[in-house]
Amino acid sequence: MRPALSRWLAGWVLAWFAALGWAAEADTSRLLPFGPEMAGFRKPVRPVRTSVEGLLWIDAEDFADYGGWRIDTQFVHKMGSAYLLAAGLGTPVSDAQTTIEIPAAGRYRLWVRTRDWFPEHSPGRFEVLVDGKASEARFGQASSDRWQWRSGGVFELAAGPVQLALRDRTGYFARCDALILATDLNYVPPEDLPGIQHERSRLTGLSLEPQDSGEFDVIVVGAGSAGVPAAIAAARHGAVTALVQDRPVLGGNASVELGVGISGAGSRHANARESGIIEEAGRIKARYRHPRMSEPFRILAEAEPNLTVLVNRHVFAVEMVGPQRIAAVRAMDTLSGEIHVYRARQFIDCTGDGWVGYFAGAEYRLGRESREEFGEDLAPPEADRITMSGCLMGNLAVGYQAMDTGRPVDYAPPPWAAKLPTEDFGRAIRGFTGGHWWLEHEGTIDDLANPEQARDELVRITFGYWDYIKNHWPERATARNYDLVYVPHGDAKRETRRLVGDYVLKQQDIQQAVMFPDRISYGGWSLDVHHPRGIYSGGEGPFDYNPPVPIYSIPYRCLYSVNIDNLLLAGRHASVTHVALGTVRVQGTLAPLGQAAGTAAAMCIERGVDPRQLGREAIADLQQTLLKHDQYIPGLRNEDPADLARSAQVRASSSAAVERFDRSSVVVEDEHPLNMSRAVMVPRGIHRQWRSIRILLRSTRSEPVAVTARILGAQQVGQFTADEDLGSVTASVPPGRAAFVEFPLDKPIDSPLVWIWLPKTEGVFWQLMASGPHQACRAYGGGESRPWTVVEGQYYAVCTEPPLAYPVACAPENVINGWTRTIGQTANLWASDPDETLPQWIELEMSRPVRINTVYLTFDTDMNTSHHTISLVPQTVRDYRLSWFDGTEWRPLAYETGNFQRRRVHRFAPVETAKLRLTVEATNGDRSARVFEIRAYEE
């Protein structure tokens, strides 16, 4: 790419981010107390100019002041441009206003392009005021729900400035795309999309001529949890890369605009959180308390010199060379309407919707496969086009936000609000100040073909649900003082098109944990497929099915198109069945797919091959490269012959023989009501007798409540059926607060594991801790004759007196054993003796002096926590020195303070040495220095 162009693009992007930041700061009056408000997002102000005498085209998004209206750029590909939306709560939002220059006095007919989004009731109506005079027509009332021009009457205007205002009349999602003032009173604007675009171009001077805007090695389209790691990985591996994103921020569903949290295998399995780029970003998020992933992704992307980030660009077409090769993508600037062409050799579709593939003619699937097609017993008997619904999201809220007004508030729903089942609602409602992930439309509504209708349906459901909460919910008295304060307008999508690769991952691969030879990553979230009827499923509940799965592998062949030669794919549109998407779609699982696709794309560029050939010829290289960059692939370990550390002798100042888990290890992350039996299992450890068990409970009751814990022994992890009774102990939970409640237990324990079972207790919550001792797990719902449902990787908060202590093998050689996380019972790390004070050191001695210029270090950021919630993980090395031995003395290579990352790479001028040493001076809290891996290279 030309450097000047690249600088210009980079400057443009920076200007955009700066503009966003400025807008959010400047517009604090509209900030809600919940999180970053995206209402500040607007098109840079552009004066209205006319290119054709007697005709003035004014885009609504060019209004100088949006008032209470919001810009909506989600549907540019369907209706031609951005528009303004009066996303209110039933009270009209304040006027959007602007002033234009009328070149010559005369009579002008006003045309307004608008849409009645639900003609049975015409919820969103508005007027246009021209110099204070209302249009003779009300807009948003029509017999059809398509976008169309409506005449607003004739205005007598003097030359000079004229004020235009959009006056919302209903407060219910009125929308306005553009206005035209025409002196020819018989002029009628075109209604077809190409005609509209041509007319906008003719009247405003906007060029529709595609601009050649850059050439790259790799183009990634879509910057969600898959796209950002894909772009960063490609750039880090030397490919000149562009990331084209149609939103103003990065992150897709995980952005600050929408707000979906990142889950993955770690939410269901012990020590299974995804590493690599998503861990790096997640650690930044936690460290600096960013609410979601936009900012961490931006920080990492901006640090890559090979990466150009282009926001507000919607890819709407591709240019091909031959039937099977993409040459370029065409992107529309969602704000200005300008068209850019970006060329590349390899493309990665990370749009979630598979748009790039679709434009290129890639094979794809939509909806549910039949049971017979893949032999999946969870699939329906017949194939159909049903997909999982998305949710209305914005400002980190799902569905809506409601606040306590301090006085009773009645609610009368608008007549167009969805009518939800009131008798058999089928959902346990935990909290009503915001909506829930199951506020979904029916799966027959097509988020792809008619995305605006899909979003509008979710708006209807939100108001219908609030009606349920206020007027029908059995516990509605608790919501009496609450009122809606915000309803988002973004549709966070869950399932649309899936592109077909050389392999389609299916249910059995997942449930049987097939270890594919070309595996590049893994998953472990359950087969969580939502009910095809969405919120209308009533008593059948929100899931179609949701069985737990083991850790399974994902093959590289799911990541490139079966029929487009230079197209990789990563995201929820990867090559999997509808059933398999139930587990693959979580963002922690998708991010490593992105990292794998980006790495593969860069390797394709380097080797001059396409993705399929790369997989056939160099899958082991790809796998080893991913491991080197901290991606975890089950069953594969570091076998990189270039890693000079692998053959070293390793020794350390000390090693831990026991691991301790005490009260300071308990970090609360959530809580569950004791509305059923709940239990936790922990290892007994080296102490054969505990004085007491401390359980972290929160009571909402106003009086102390007695809870009786049953304590039992077990022989195997997860064996909640074991009945080696150690006794029942009753303790009192104090009222109105959370406290560690002490359950005395002075009894010898013979079994290797202990589980603690609390019965259903009204008004008491058992807090969950972010991480647990090894071998721990939790279970719920069992007891008496009912089986327990066991959840690995999650723990109810518990500790013991004396603190749990269990033997571990944390030998120094673990740093070169090829594994970089705890797997099963094997720690795979070096930990210094917690009874020895820091600093502690670990040393690698090679059989002969070697040249080294790069060292890769992998620390412990506790992969046993499911989310990136802990700001500074205690187990992580904080301050350390890296040194080499020159034959007589140790010489410095790197000195770091304040580290919070798992993976650190140090590059330096080459040294010739037989010895490397890492000295850990401080951790973020742990008494041991903990290191999973040390690699050394001459690169």
Quote the least distance from Cβ 447 to ligand FAD, whole Å. Answer: 10
Whole-angstrom distance, CA of residue 634 vs CA of residue 615: 18
Work out whether 585 is an interface residue with ligand FAD (CB under 6 A): yes
H helical segments located in 420-521: 451-467, 507-511
Spatial contact of 542 and 461, defined as CB atoms under 8 Å apart: no
Report 812-831 residues binding ligand FAD (CB under 6 A). none
Tokens for 537?
Answer: 């499923």
Give the residue with the Cβ less far from ligand FAD, 267 or 553: 267
Q: Which residue has the tokens 């003796």?
A: 833
Q: Which of 40, 140, 189, 261 binds ligand FAD (CB under 6 A)?
A: 261
Considering only 1-9, 216-224, 848-856, 891-899, which stretch makes contact with ligand FAD by CB under 6 A? 216-224
DSSP character at residue 15 = H
Residue 19: which residues within 8 A CB-CB, separation 6 or more? Answer: 44
Whole-angstrom distance, CA of residue 560 vs CA of residue 613: 11
Q: Which of 82, 223, 487, 650 binds ligand FAD (CB under 6 A)?
A: 223
Quote the least distance from Cβ 724 to ligand FAD, whole Å. Answer: 37
Spatial contact of 251 and 619, defined as CB atoms under 8 Å apart: no
Query: Residues 692-731: x/- map of binding to ligand FAD (CB under 6 A)?
Result: ----------------------------------------
Neighbours of 218 (CB within 10 A): 31
Considering only 219-227, 294-302, 551-559, 902-910, which stretch makes contact with ligand FAD by CB under 6 A? 219-227
Give the residue with the Cβ less far from ligand FAD, 293 or 652: 293
Q: Which of 130, 178, 586, 636 binds ligand FAD (CB under 6 A)?
A: 586
Q: Which of 81, 98, 135, 263 binds ligand FAD (CB under 6 A)?
A: 263
Give the residue with the Cβ less far from ligand FAD, 162 or 244: 244
Considering only 107-115, 217-225, 672-680, 750-758, which stretch makes contact with ligand FAD by CB under 6 A? 217-225
Quote the least distance from Cβ 392 to ligand FAD, whole Å. Answer: 9
Give the residue with the Cβ less far from ligand FAD, 152 or 490: 490
Q: What are phi and psi of 621, to 5 degrees?
A: -65, -45
Considering only 55-63, 230-238, 489-497, 909-917, which stretch makes contact with ligand FAD by CB under 6 A? 489-497
Whole-angstrom distance, CA of residue 390 vs CA of residue 352: 12
Give the residue with the Cβ less far from ligand FAD, 354 or 782: 354
Quote the least distance from Cβ 246 to ligand FAD, whole Å. Answer: 4
Partners of 108 in the beta sheet? 155
Give the residue with the Cβ less far from ligand FAD, 170 or 255: 255
Report 30-69 residues binding ligand FAD (CB under 6 A). none
Quote the least distance from Cβ 254 to ligand FAD, whole Å. Answer: 6
Tokens for 926?
Answer: 């742990």
Quote the least distance from Cβ 268 to ligand FAD, whole Å. Answer: 12
Report 309-328 residues binding ligand FAD (CB under 6 A). 314-315
Quote the least distance from Cβ 249 to ligand FAD, whole Å. Answer: 8
DSSP character at residue 637 = -
Give the residue with the Cβ less far from ligand FAD, 590 or 652: 590
Q: Which of 102, 162, 182, 244 binds ligand FAD (CB under 6 A)?
A: 244
Report 739-768 residues binding ligand FAD (CB under 6 A). none
Quote the least distance from Cβ 457 to ligand FAD, whole Å. Answer: 14
Considering only 256-264, 738-746, 779-787, 830-838, which stretch makes contact with ligand FAD by CB under 6 A? 256-264
Tokens for 189?
Answer: 């604007």
Q: Which of 494, 533, 557, 935 binds ligand FAD (CB under 6 A)?
A: 494
Quote the least distance from Cβ 549 to ligand FAD, whole Å. Answer: 15
Report 381-420 residues binding ligand FAD (CB under 6 A). 390-391, 398
Quote the least distance from Cβ 536 to ligand FAD, whole Å. Answer: 17
Q: Which of 196, 226, 232, 850 binds ligand FAD (CB under 6 A)?
A: 226
Considering only 81-89, 156-164, 255-263, 473-481, which stretch makes contact with ligand FAD by CB under 6 A? 255-263
Give the residue with the Cβ less far from ligand FAD, 437 or 890: 437
Give the residue with the Cβ less far from ligand FAD, 494 or 629: 494
Q: Which of 68, 123, 588, 685 binds ligand FAD (CB under 6 A)?
A: 588
- Residue 280: is it exposed, middle or buried by C-beta count within 10 angstroms (0-12/13-18/19+)? buried
Work out whether 246 is an interface residue with ligand FAD (CB under 6 A): yes
Report 417-476 residues binding ligand FAD (CB under 6 A). 437
Do the strands 567-569 and 346-349 form a parallel or antiparallel pair, or are they unpaired? parallel
Q: Which of 492, 873, 916, 918 binds ligand FAD (CB under 6 A)?
A: 492
Give the residue with the Cβ less far from ligand FAD, 448 or 514: 448
Give the residue with the Cβ less far from ligand FAD, 247 or 930: 247
Whole-angstrom distance, CA of residue 639 vs CA of residue 901: 24
Q: What angle do CA 259, 264, 270 make, to 5 degrees?
A: 135
Beta-carbon-side half-sphere exposure of residue 228 (alpha carbons within 13 Å): 32
Q: Which residue has the tokens 């690698």?
A: 844
| Element at 76 (helix H, strand E) | helix 76-79
- Residue 689: is it exposed, middle or buried by C-beta count within 10 angstroms (0-12/13-18/19+)? exposed
Q: Which of 278, 527, 590, 882 binds ligand FAD (CB under 6 A)?
A: 590
Q: Which of 252, 532, 685, 713 binds ligand FAD (CB under 6 A)?
A: 252
What dihedral angle (degrees, nearest 10) is formed by the CA atoms of 691, 695, 699, 705? -40
| Element at 492 (helix H, strand E) | strand 490-492
Give the residue with the Cβ less far from ligand FAD, 77 or 169: 77
Whole-angstrom distance, CA of residue 347 vs CA of residue 345: 7
Give the residue with the Cβ less far from ligand FAD, 340 or 878: 340
Give the residue with the Cβ less far from ligand FAD, 577 or 883: 577
Report 517-576 residues binding ligand FAD (CB under 6 A). 571-572
Spatial contact of 378 and 507, defined as CB atoms under 8 Å apart: yes
Partners of 164 in the beta sheet? 98, 130
Q: Say if residue 839 is preceded by a cis peptide, omega within 30 of 0.
A: yes
Q: Tell me the C-alpha to C-alpha distance, in Å, between residue 771 and each of 209, 664, 817, 820.
A: 56, 12, 25, 18
Q: What are phi and psi of 355, to 5 degrees?
A: -65, -45
Q: Tell me the C-alpha to C-alpha distance, in Å, between residue 898 and each of 307, 414, 831, 874, 917.
A: 27, 54, 19, 12, 19
Tokens for 348?
Answer: 């990665």
Q: Which of 170, 526, 587, 875 binds ligand FAD (CB under 6 A)?
A: 587
Q: What angle do CA 870, 872, 876 make, to 5 degrees?
A: 115
Residue type, 154: V
Quote the least distance from Cβ 804 to ligand FAD, whole Å. Answer: 30
Neighbours of 816 (CB within 10 A): 20
DSSP character at residue 926 = -
Report 342-381 residues binding ligand FAD (CB under 6 A). 350-353, 355
Cα of 621 vs its chain's centroid, Å: 29
Q: Tell me the C-alpha to C-alpha distance, in Å, between residue 510 and each of 382, 404, 494, 561.
A: 22, 45, 20, 21
Whole-angstrom distance, CA of residue 363 vs CA of residue 369: 15
Whole-angstrom distance, CA of residue 741 vs CA of residue 732: 7
- Per CB under 6 A, residues contacting ligand FAD are 221-227, 244-247, 252-253, 260-263, 314-315, 350-353, 355, 390-391, 398, 437, 492-494, 571-572, 585-588, 590
